[in-house]
Amino acid sequence: MSALHGIMAKWWSLKWKIQIVGRLRSARRGSTCLLLGLYKDGPTPDQQKQKAASSTPHHNMCRVRDAPVVVLMLPFPAQGHLTPLLHFSRLLALRRLPVVFISSSAHNRQAKLRLQGWNLASFPSISFHDLPLPPCPVPEPDPESVIKFPAHLQPIFDVSDRLRDPLDQLLGSLAASSRRVVIVHDPLMSYAAELGSRYANVEAFAFRCISAFSSLSFQLNQRKDPKPVREGLRPVSPEGCFTKEFLEFVHRRHHAVPLTAGEIFNTFDGIEGEFMEKLTEMPRYENRKIWGIGPIFPIQLTRGSDPKPGLFNWLDMQPDRSVLYVSFGSNSSLSSAQVAELAAGLEQSGKRFLWVLRAADRGNIFKKGTRPEIHLPEGFEQRVRGSGLVVRGWAPQLEILSHGAVGGFLSHCGWNSCMESLSLGVPLATWPLHSDQPANAQLVTEVLKVGVVVREWGGAEEVVTAGKIEKAVRRLMADTPEADEIRERSAKVRDAARGAWAPSGSSTAALDSFIRLMCRVSDAPVVVLMLPFPAQGHLTPLLHFSRLLALRRLPVVFLGSSAHNRQAKLRLQGWNLTSFPSISFHDLPLPPCPVPDPDPESAIKFPAHLQPIFDASDRLRDPLDQLLSPLSASSRRVVVVHDPLMSFAAELGSKYPNVEAFAFRCISAFSSLSFQLNQQKDPKPVRQALDLVSPKDCFTKEFLEFVNRRHHGVRLTKGEIFNTFHGIEGEFVEKLSTLPQYKDRRIWGLGPIMPLQLEKLSDPKSKLFNWLDKQPDGSVLYVSFGSNSSLSSAQISELAAGLERSGQRFLWVLRAPDRGDIFKKGADPEIRLPEGFEQRVSGTGLVVRGWVPQLEILSHGAVGGFLSHCGWNSCMESLSLGVPLATWPLHSDQPANAQLMTEVLKVGVVVSEWGAAEEVLPAEKIERSVRQLMVPTNESLDVRKRSAELREAARQAWARGGSSRTALDSFVDLITRP
C-alpha cells in the first residue's frame, strides 16, 4: 500500500471509530469513560461540561462532540523536568481536561513523592501511566569531579529512548478513541512529536523547563556572529555548561522539535516578556507559537505533612526575612573542600541559615543502600546551633521558600528554583554550576537585579573561598540600601507573578489561548497535494514549501514520477525529511521516453535535451485525476499546489467542489512581471530605465510552444505563490497584482522557503568542507552553473584561466547537466580542464566534480561570493545567506534575475552581459569581474553591505509580523477555513 493510501485508510478508520464511540456514549450516558483504564472513577465528560457551564467562563472551552481531548504529559527523566510538567498537569486539570502523566514507574513514583504546593488526591483527572523502561547500570555521582554536570545520569538519559515503542502503542489506542490527543513533552523527548505526526488527530507541544532568557542565549550562540541577548550581555555558550556526551544527546533528540505546534515556557511577561518576544523572531519559531505560562506552581500553596520533623518548628522561631536558605538542587553536589569553605563562609557571616546538605540524586532514588556521608568541619553544627540548621536529604523547597522567616536563597540557579524564589519574592545569591544555570544567574543579577553574585560563571571550576561567600551573604542579608533595593525589586517581581494569574494577566491569557487551540473542533482533514514540474529547479522549491505546510500540521503528499520523487529526496538540503513524517510521496506512473544526452557545445544553453520529459509529463494527467476522485470524497478539502507548467491540475480540480488549486511559481516576481509586460501591445519597462528581457531570447521555440499549451489552466487557480519576500520584490509583487490576469486571484510572497537555520546533512569531514574550513572568512568565490546548464570546452578553458589569473580563492563545481533520468547508468563525459590547472591552483582553488550541497556551501563562513547562472533558487539562497553574486545568465528567467541582482538590488557584479550570451567570454573579463567582487574596494564593500542588509531582511520576513510569515498565515487560513 502506498503512503497516500495509508493516510486515506487511517482517516476512514478514524471516522468510523469516532462515530462508534459517539453512539456508544449516547447509548450509555452517565457511565464512566474508560480509556485504556487511564481514567479514574469520577464525573463523565458530559457531567463535567454541565458543571463547567455553571463555573467560571474559561471552563467552557472544551465542548467536545464525539470523544474527549486527552492530554499526555511526557517529561524527561530528571527531577528538574518531572516537577514542572506535573505542575502544568494541575493547570490543565483545573480546566477539566483529563491528563495522563507518562514515564517509567520509578520516575512516576519520584514525581508523586516530591510534589509540593498542592494535593494530588484533589485532582482525580490526573492519572499516571507507567511505561516499561529496561534497567541500566548507573554510576554513583562523584562530588569531587571538576565537572558539576550530572554526567552519572547519562545512561538514564540514553535509555529513555526505549520509551518510544510503548508510547507509540499507547498513542495508537488513544488516537482511535479520542477526538484529539495532545502530547505535551519535554524537548529532549521530541520523538513524541515524531510519533504523533503519524496520526491526524494527535498534536504535540514542547514544554521547555528552562528560562526564555537561557533558551535565547543558547540559540544566539549557534549563530556565526552571535548578538547579545540584550545590549551589554554576552550570550552564555552551551559548550561550557554541559558535557560533550550530553550535547551530542541533545543534538540527536532535538531534530523533531519543529514538528510541534508550539512551545510552552514556565515564565511570565513581567520577567521575560522581552526575551519571549525576541525568541519569536528566531527562524525556528517562524511557524510555531510560544506561550509564557508561569509560575506554574500554585501561588497559594497547600502545605503537606512535614517530612523533616523540626525543620518548620525551627523556622517558626526565626524573625521574619532573617534566614538564608542554602540549596544546590537535586542533581548537583559540592566537593568536600568546597563544603568546608561554604560552612566557614556561612559561619563567619553571622547570618541565620538553613542549609540542605545532600548528595546528587542517583539514577533511581529508591535504590536501597546508604549514601556516603558528607562531612562538615568538626564542631560546625554545634557552633552555629543558635543561628543555623543543617538538613540532610531532600527537603520541601517550595514550602521553605514560602515561609515568612526566609529572606534569601543561596542557589545553583536551576530554573525551577529561580521561578519559585522570584514568584515568592525571595532574593537570590547566585552560584551556578552547569546547564542553563549560568544564563539564569545572569538574568537574576544583571537583568532583574534581584540577587547578588557568589561565584562568577568564569570561575566555575575553582573552589569559592569562605571570604567571598561571607561577603556575598552579608550583601544579600544585611540591612543596607543595596539589600533593601534588592528586596524591593523582589517584592515587585512577586506581585507581577500574582498579576500574571489575574483574570486579565499574561499567564491567564496564554493558558486560555493554549487551551482554545488544543480543544478546537475540526472536521475531516485538509489534504495538500504538491505537483512539481519534472526538473530540478522546480522539484526543490515545492519540497521546501511542503515543509512549511507540514510545520502548520497539514498533511502533504508530494506527487511525481518515481524517478523525480527519488531525485527530490536525494538532493534535499537544509532539513531532514525523516523529521516530517506528515510529508509523504506518491509515485505517479510515467511511461519511459527516449531522452538525448545534453550537448555542452550547443550555442543554445537552454536544456533542450529535457524537452521529451517535459512533453511526457502530460501523461500524469489521468493518474492525477484517478487520485483526486477518492481524496475529494474522503476529505473536507483537497488543495493542489502545482507548478504553472502543470496547470492541467487546476483543470482537473475544477471538476470537484472541494478541490482548490494554487500555482507555485519557481521564478522571481521580477522575471514574471518582465515576461508578462513583454506580451503587451506596448510593453512598459518593469521599472524606469530597465530594459525588458524578451522570453523569445531565453527559451527554445519548442519550449515556448509547450508553455503556451500548458498555461491556459492557470486562470482556474485561486492564486499564485512566489518564493520571495517584501524586502526584495515587494514593488514587483504589487505591480503584478495590478495586471488583468490577477484581477480575481491572489498573490502570496512566501520566501525564502528554505529554512534559515540549516540542518547540515553532509559529511563535515568531506574533502570539500575540510578545504572550506581552512580558508579565511568571506574569501572564497563559489562557482556553479546549476543542474541544467553547461559551458562549452572553449568557455571552460577561458573560465579556468580567468579564475587562475584573478588570484582569488575559489570552489568550482564542474559537472555536466542533468540527464532525463539522473539515476540512468553510465558515466558522464569527462569535462577537461587546461593541462596542469588543478596543480597550479591547489593552494587557492578546489574543483569538485558532480552534484554538491549548494545550500550548505553558501552558508559556510569562508564563502564570500557566488559566480552564478542566476537561476532563481540560486539567487534566493545567495540573497538569504548574504552572499554577493557575479552574474552569468544562460537561459530561461536567468537574464531577468541577473538584472534584478545587479541593477535593482545592487548586490552583484556583471560577468556576462545577456546580449553576448552566445559568445565565448574571454579570461580577461572573467578575471576583472572576479576581482571586482572579491577584492576589498569601496565598490565591493558596498555590495557586501547591501547583501548583509538583505540577509537580515530575509530573516525579518519570517519574524513575527514579517511579510512572509503574515502571507503564510493568510494562505493557511484560506485553505483550512471551515
Q: What is the DSSP string of 317-364?
A: TSPTT-EEEEE--SS----HHHHHHHHHHHHHHT-EEEEEE-PPPPSS
Integer Cα distance of 565 and 669 in angstroms: 27
Whether the pLDDT of residue 525 is over 80: the answer is no
pLDDT (0 to 100) of residue 890: 93
Contact by Cβ (8 Å): 467, 455: no
Per residue in 165-191, pLDDT (tens digit) is 999 999 988 888 787 899 999 999 999
> Treating both helix axes as pointing N-terminal to C-terminal, what angle do 481-500 and 415-423 enclose, rounded to 10 degrees?
90
Per-residue pLDDT, averaged over 443-463, amounts to 88
Return the SS3 of 246: helix
pLDDT (0 to 100) of residue 678: 85
pLDDT (0 to 100) of residue 4: 46
Whether the pLDDT of residue 762 is over 80: the answer is no
Report the mean per-residue pLDDT for the chain. Answer: 87
Which one from 643, 860, 891, 893 is the annotated catalytic residue?
A: 643
pLDDT (0 to 100) of residue 307: 56
Whether the pLDDT of residue 962 is over 60: the answer is yes
pLDDT tier at 261 (50, 70, 90 boundaries)? confident
Contact by Cβ (8 Å): 352, 316: no
Integer Cα distance of 701 and 705 in angstroms: 6
pLDDT (0 to 100) of residue 916: 62
pLDDT (0 to 100) of residue 66: 36
Weakest mean pLDDT among 207-216, 272-281, 475-484, 596-605: 596-605
Q: CB under 8 Å to 405, separation ≥6 — which residues?
A: 315, 316, 318, 319, 320, 321, 322, 323, 352
Share of the chain above pLDDT 70, in %: 90
- CA dihedral over 879, 883, 886, 889, signed as positive or negative: negative
Q: In what order do the strands lie in the sheet with 180-185?
A: 126-130, 99-103, 69-74, 180-185, 202-208, 262-265, 289-292
The 3-state secondary structure of 15-52, one letter per residue: HHHHHHHHHHHHHCCCCCCCCCCCCCCCCCHHHHHHHH
Contact by Cβ (8 Å): 80, 114: no
Rg of the chain (C-alpha set): 32
pLDDT (0 to 100) of residue 633: 80
Per-residue pLDDT, averaged over 607-615, amounts to 91
Whether the pLDDT of residue 829 is over 70: the answer is yes
Residue, of 972 and 8, whose pLDDT is higher: 972
pLDDT tier at 714 (50, 70, 90 boundaries)? confident
pLDDT (0 to 100) of residue 385: 92
Highest mean pLDDT among 42-51, 228-237, 829-838, 893-902: 893-902
Whether the pLDDT of residue 11 is over 50: the answer is no
Integer Cα distance of 257 and 194 in angstroms: 8
pLDDT (0 to 100) of residue 947: 96
Residue, of 234 and 148, whose pLDDT is higher: 148
Integer Cα distance of 314 and 387 in angstroms: 10
pLDDT (0 to 100) of residue 917: 54
C-alpha cell at 650: 487546476
Per-residue pLDDT, averaged over 748-765, amounts to 83
Residue, of 311 and 692, whose pLDDT is higher: 311
CA atoms within 13 Å, Cβ hemisphere of 827: 4
Contact by Cβ (8 Å): 903, 690: yes
Which one from 87, 152, 412, 538 is the annotated catalytic residue?
A: 538
Integer Cα distance of 208 and 186 in angstroms: 6
pLDDT tier at 641 (50, 70, 90 boundaries)? very high
Whether omega before 895 lies within 30 degrees of 0, making that bond cis, reads no
pLDDT (0 to 100) of residue 364: 85
pLDDT (0 to 100) of residue 305: 56
The 3-state secondary structure of 52-82, one letter per residue: HHCCCHHHHCCCCCCCCEEEEEECCCCHHHH
Continuous segment of H or E residues that includes residue 639: strand 637-642
Whether the pLDDT of residue 524 is over 50: the answer is no
Whether the pLDDT of residue 938 is over 60: the answer is yes
pLDDT (0 to 100) of residue 55: 33
Count CB neighbours of 316 within 10 A: 10
pLDDT (0 to 100) of residue 8: 43
Per residue in 551-604, pLDDT (tens digit) is 888 889 999 999 999 999 999 999 988 778 788 899 999 888 888 888 888 888
Q: What burial class does residue 203 get, using C-beta atoms within 10 Å of its C-beta: 0-12 exposed, 13-18 middle, 19+ buried?
A: buried
One DSSP character per residue, 363-393 reads: SSTT--SPPPPPPPPTTHHHHTTTTEEEEES
Q: Is 821 a catalytic residue?
A: no
Count CB neighbours of 779 within 10 A: 16
Residue, of 227 and 617, whose pLDDT is higher: 617
Weakest mean pLDDT among 32-46, 296-310, 624-638, 736-750: 32-46
Per residue in 32-67, pLDDT (tens digit) is 222 222 223 333 333 333 333 233 323 322 332 233
pLDDT (0 to 100) of residue 58: 31
pLDDT (0 to 100) of residue 461: 65
Q: Is 891 a catalytic residue?
A: no
pLDDT (0 to 100) of residue 585: 92
Per-residue pLDDT, averaged over 515-534, amounts to 79
pLDDT (0 to 100) of residue 863: 97
Integer Cα distance of 661 and 750 in angstroms: 17
Per residue in 651-673, pLDDT (tens digit) is 999 999 999 999 999 999 999 99
Per-residue pLDDT, averaged over 358-372, amounts to 83
Weakest mean pLDDT among 238-242, 458-462, 905-909: 458-462
Whether the pLDDT of residue 391 is over 90: the answer is yes
DSSP state of 792: -
Share of the chain above pLDDT 90, in %: 63
